[in-house]
Structure 1
Amino acid sequence: MHFSTAASLVLSLAAIAAAQLPAVPIIKQIAPGAENCADTTECRTAEQAAPFIAKSMSDYKIYNVAEMAAIISLMAFESVDFKFKHNVSPGRPGQGTANMQMANFNLLYAQSIDSVKSKVSKFTTTDGLSPDDLNHILSLVQPDEFNFASGAWFYSTHCDASVKAALKANPDDGFKKYITACVGTSVTDERLAYFTRAKKAFGLK
């Protein structure tokens, strides 16, 4: 494990402050489009996203650099360098967060957050819910502290041990397994480009 590189992201996670953002250069390298936001409704810069992403790694006890690289690269790709918190195309109701999770996962995510779960207590499933209800659930997990923790939450709770072991053993093979077996989609050149930048940012070969 490249401890010094990992430390650049997770150092002082127990009390991250605006003056302590060692993760910003890493996030900028992974998401080069996160330099500025023309519209701040959903868009966040690397400086804004970094402390929340770093804290999420600590909260979900993710300290392996290959795992961090995979999670952050996925969020950066899915959100177009943190510009969006909801699915823009095709505009699927309830899908969103930086991790661009489907509505059913956002309900489960909301149910896992102490300060939010009472607000979704009337929902047991997303099946049959109206677009308004689905988007309401999504809105509850869109504040920055939840939006940027969605990737770590999903990885921790919905990726099995074989995916995590694969990433730790071989980042490239592990990333492919993460995307196909856990995220449930295909590995594209665009996704690989984000992961390649993430590997470089974390000093991985």
Structure 2
Amino acid sequence: MRTQYLSVLLLSGLAAACPKGSRQATTTAAAPAATTTAAAAGAGSTFDMAAAVRAIMPSSGSCAGAQFPDECRTADQAAPFIAKACESLSTAECAATVALMGLESVDMKFKHNVSPGRPGQGTANMMMPNFVSEYATDLFGAAKVAGKSPNDVLALVTPDEYNFGSAAWFLTTKCTADVRSSLKTGTDAGWIAYNSNCLGVDGTLSERLAYWNRAKTAFNL
């Protein structure tokens, strides 16, 4: 997936202009019924996903000043969709996907790649266009995706109910059983294996470890 430099560029103020057609509409889908629960989070039906997201993503409490307000989501807004996506994951896997989404989207401020502005790259975990296309095909079928530009394909999967499910989809469809087994231990070794052997990035980078360390605390790993 090789998106390891995106957040660094964004945070250092090097973001490029938004590619035409890559933003989603301001209207968001209705939240799932279980707004702050995630059985996978290790605390049954009482787990507060919004609080966990705020702890992992330090600036996710507000969208004030966001470069693209229509793309930004707060922890409270995103939590129901993240909880839904985590239903099929272990606690540690859920924590890892939340950490990844926080890192790659700069605490959910972006749903598309702004630097270097690669058309079609996006979702909360900043998937490359080929994976975005595959994700959209899995969701909607090949006919819905065929003939569309990369940005138009991305627009199919940036509504919240799909955007916040992309990291879980990538984990369950692209990571090997060995990687998932290692990640389920909730250890640094599992996190590094997930990054190195599935995402294709260096999981020991300080910014990545910072998100992971906050995720371990938030999910009681």
- For the aligned pair, the TM-score class normalised by the smaller chain equals 0.7 to 0.9
Distance 1:4 1:44 in 2: 23
Residue 22 of structure 2 corresponds to residue 6 of structure 1: no
Structure 1 residues 152-185: Cα deviation after superposition (integer angstroms, max 9, x where no partner): 0000000010101111235210100100110011
Query: Aligned pair in 2 of structure 1 residues 4, 111: CA closer, same or farther (>3 Å)?
Result: closer
CA distance in 2, matches of 1:32, 1:5: 22
Conservation of the 8 A alpha-carbon contact between 1:5 and 1:203: no
Q: Distance in 1 between matches of 2:144 and 2:40?
A: 39
Distance 1:35 1:93 in 2: 28
Question: Of residues 59, 68, 80 in structure 2, which corresponds to 1:51?
Answer: 80
User: Where does residue 181 of structure 1 map in the other structure?
Assistant: 197
1:196 lines up with 2:213 in the alignment:
yes
Q: Percentage identity across aligned positions? A: 49
- Give RMSD over aligned pairs: 2.1
Q: 1:112 maps to what in 2?
A: 138
Query: Paired residue for 1:89?
Result: 115
Question: Hey, what does 2:32 align to over in structure 1?
Answer: none
Match of 1:100 among 126, 138, 150: 126
Q: State the shift of 1:32 in Å.
A: 1.2
Unaligned runs of 5+ in 1: 13-20, 124-131
- The runs of at least 4 consecutive aligned structure 1 residues that moved more than 6 Å come to none
Inter-partner Cα distance in structure 2 for 1:158 and 1:22: 28
Structure 1 residue 7: Cα displacement? 4.5
Counterpart CA distance in 1 for 2:142 and 2:102 is 26
* Corresponding residue SS for 1:197: helix
Distance (Å, rounded) in 2 between the aligned partners of 1:149 and 1:53: 7
Q: Please tell me whether the aligned partners of residues 95 and 103 of structure 1 are also in contact (alpha carbons under 8 angstroms).
A: yes
Give 1:127's aligned residue: none
Give per-residue Cα distances to partners, 1:4-49, cap 9 Å, x unaligned.
Answer: 88244x638xxxxxxxx82111111011110111342100000001
Aligned to 2:60: 34
Tell me how far apart the structure 2 counterparts of residues 54 and 195 of structure 1 sit (CA, whole Å). 18
State the SS of the aligned residue for 1:11: helix
- Is contact 1:26-1:202 (8 Å) kept? yes
Please list the CA deviations of residues 96-149 of structure 1 after superposition, one character each: whole Å capped at 9, or x if unmatched: 0001000000000001114x65421x25xxxxxxxx811111111000000000
Aligned to 2:22: none
Counterparts in 2 of 1:32 and 1:113: CA distance versus 1, 3 Å: same
The answer to whether the Cα contact below 8 Å between 1:5 and 1:202 also exists between their aligned partners in 2 is no
The 5 Å alignment of 1:108-187 reads 108-114=134-140, 117-120=142-145, 122=146, 133-169=149-185, 171-187=187-203
Q: TM-score, normalised by structure 2?
A: 0.76
Alignment partner of 2:100 out of 66, 74, 83? 74
SS in structure 2 at match of 1:112: helix
Query: What 5-or-longer segments of structure 2 have no aligned partner?
Result: 1-37
Amino acid of the structure 1 residue aligned with 2:155: S
